[in-house]
Every structure is written in C-alpha cells, then in structure tokens.
Structure 1
Amino acid sequence: MTTSTAERRTESRDWRPTRRRIGDGLLAALAPIAACSVALGALTTWVNSGSAGSPARIAVTEGRVFLPFGDVRDTAAFFRITNTGGADDRLLKVTSSAVGGEATLSRHRMTSGRMAYAQTVDSASVPAGDGLDMSPFGLDVTLRAKPGWRAGDLVPFTLHFEHGGRVEVSAVVVRPGEG
C-alpha cells in the first residue's frame, strides 16, 4: 500500500494535538528534567556540607619515640595522624635532623612461628575524615637514635604527605611501655 503525496498532505493537515499526545510529550520531557533536578539538589547539598572538593587537612599529634635499650640504637617512632578534609592523603616519608641515618616507614609483621619483623613500606594511606594511629603492632617509623637520648627529650620530625605537604612535629622520648 502506497500513499500518494496528496494523501500525505491531507493526513498531515488532519493531525491534531490530542490530550494523549500532549500528555505523552510532557511526560517524555518531564523525566529528564526531574532527574536533573534531583541530581542538582544532591550536588548542592554535598557542596553546602563542605565535602565537595575540600582538600586533605592533616594534623599530627601524640608523637613519641622509644628510648633505645642498652647498646642497641635502632628504635621506632609513632604518631597519631588525622585527616579532617574531604580528600584522602598519603604519608610518603618521615625525616628528622636529629636521627643518625634515615627514618623509614615500616609495618610490624608476625611469621607463622610467632617471630616479629619489620617490613618497609613506601607510603601509608590517611583516609578522609579518619586517620592513622601508628603503634608498635602496626605502622611505625624505624630509625637509628643518636647517643645520649633520655626519657622526656623532644625529637623533631617532618612528615611528608602527598597532598598535605610537610608537617613538622616533635616526638617525646619515652621508655617502651610508657605513654
């Protein structure tokens, strides 16, 4: 069945908007508008809460370094790191002018025979809105102490973060098992 050009012109002149056609057209246009409005409202709420695009905000507290025992000069330092920002960050390294040699990030590990060892790590994650608590049973900073350190001495450290930059902090020398 073919229709002539004249018949098609007549049909196009006879086309009239009906309630159903108008309703279907409005509904088709309303769906994307509603979806965009919901997304815009959610983004506005997120931005107003202060989370959108806020950088990492790093604070380092409770620095302590174990006093070496006997002739052993290898020891460990620990810090509490908090990130109140909206973006994750990474601790890349720790340095100190008061340390004989380099300070390295390491993680305490246990073997199946209940032997402990330190595994060097390249960096440590500091999640947004959370933090990182270093401890003798997890992440620490392994270092070589200079002779003459006593309990109560302050040792300067600089913690280097991927996004948060450098944070300078002092750690107090404590005997293992104290503070």
Structure 2
Amino acid sequence: MITPTPTPTAERTAVAGAWRPTRRRVADGLLAAFAPIAACAVALGGLTTWVNFGQAGSPPRIAVTDGRVFLPYGDVRDTAAFFRITNTGGADDRLLKVTSSAAEGGTALSRHRMVGDTAASARTVDSARVPVGEGLTMSPFGLDVTLRAGRGWQEGTYVPFTLHFEHAGRIEVQAVVVRPGGPG
C-alpha cells in the first residue's frame, strides 16, 4: 500500500494550529517574568541597606544606668530598687532576674498597679521585655526590684546588683541609696 505524500496545503494547516510567538505573547511572558525578579531585587536592596546599617542579626546591646535603691523608713526593711535599661542593639532582650549580694534574703521583679485612687497592688513577674530601640525604665509605679535592705544602709551608699538578661548575659551595676521622694 502506498501512502500519499502530504500536500503543501495540509502542512500549512497543521502548522497553522501550532503555537507561534507573537509580539504580544513575548511581551506578556517577559512581564510575567519581570514582576518576581523586581520584587526580589527590592527585597534584596532593603536587606542590604539593613545589613549596611548594622542591624541584621546584631544582638541586643544593653546598658544599665540610674540605679537607685529607696532607703527603708522606720523598722521596715523591705524596699525597692530601680534601673534604666536601654537596648541599642538589633534584637529585643528579656530581663530574667536581678540579684544582689548586699540584700538580705532574695530579690524579685515586681510590677505595681494602682487600685483605685489611694491603693496599689504588686505581683511578682518572671521576666520583663527590653525592646530594641526603647528599653525599660523601672519606677515605683511600674516594674521594680523588691528586696530586703541590708543593715546599716544609709543615704548615699552604693549597693551592688547583677542584672541577668536572656541574650546579653550578666551586667553588674551599682545603685545609690536615696530617700523616697527626694532628689536622685
């Protein structure tokens, strides 16, 4: 049996149904490929800028200043200590605990809240967040360190403290004994 040879017309008909690149198809394909490439370039540029300014992956940089301990009044020896903690690093940190070799007994992180107009309540907290670029300022109306004062503490003396952070580790500081409500 002899098979007929295709005629040029039949070849044209078969080729006519095949895909051919047109200007519109090429333009649409290039545009579809360009969008994710442009998005990646913008993201890479932003990350490069962040890295160049030293923020990418940099650990917290913690500084502790303005350490103060209230001088206890009368026979009461329970008191509070306060610190200003700044974080100039590239990541948040967490204050886990505060210790002092000069305090009698232990120390605790406490958060105070006003209850009504004339009363306050305190509760012990496990830790406190130290946000990047902000920090944490302790006060009698918020977070503080509660402790029992050592014998013989008087105004102007210094008390050693160690602040323990999740990422920054231990930072040793001194806090000055001040009268509540007084300057300093």
TM-score, reference length from structure 2:
0.88
The aligned residue for residue 170 of structure 1 is 174
Instruction: Give the gaps of 5 or more residues in structure 2.
Output: 1-9
Q: CA deviation at 1:107?
A: 1.1
Q: CA deviation at 1:8?
A: 9.9
Greater Rg by CA: 2
Q: % of aligned pairs identical?
A: 76
The aligned residue for residue 5 of structure 2 is none
4+ residue stretches of structure 1 with deviation over 6 A?
Answer: 6-9
Does structure 1 residue 149 correspond to structure 2 residue 153?
Answer: yes
Q: CA deviation at 1:151?
A: 0.7
Counterpart CA distance in 1 for 2:12 and 2:175 is 88
Helix, strand or coil at the partner of 2:135: strand
Listed one character per residue, the Cα deviations across residues 62-119 of structure 1 (whole Å, up to 9, x for unaligned) are: 1010111111100000000000011111111000000000010001122236322321
Q: CA deviation at 1:131?
A: 1.0
Does structure 1 residue 31 correspond to structure 2 residue 38?
Answer: no
The aligned residue for residue 87 of structure 1 is 91
Measured on the aligned residues, the alpha-carbon RMSD in Å equals 1.9
Would the aligned equivalents of 2:114 and 2:141 in 1 still touch at CA under 8 Å?
A: no
Equivalences for residues 65-80 of structure 1 within 5 A: 65-80=69-84
Q: CA deviation at 1:14?
A: 6.0
Counterpart CA distance in 2 for 1:8 and 1:163 is 73
Instruction: Give the gaps of 5 or more residues in structure 1.
Output: 1-5
Counterpart CA distance in 2 for 1:112 and 1:154 is 35
Equivalences for residues 1-179 of structure 1 within 5 A: 10-11=14-15, 15-112=19-116, 114-178=118-182, 179=184
Residues 99 and 14 of structure 1: CA distance in aligned 2, closer, same or farther (over 3 Å): closer
Would the aligned equivalents of 2:60 and 2:168 in 1 still touch at CA under 8 Å?
A: yes
Would the aligned equivalents of 2:87 and 2:133 in 1 still touch at CA under 8 Å?
A: yes
TM-score, reference length from structure 1:
0.90
Count of residue correspondences: 174
The residue type equivalent to 1:176 in the other structure is P
Counterpart CA distance in 2 for 1:105 and 1:123 is 7
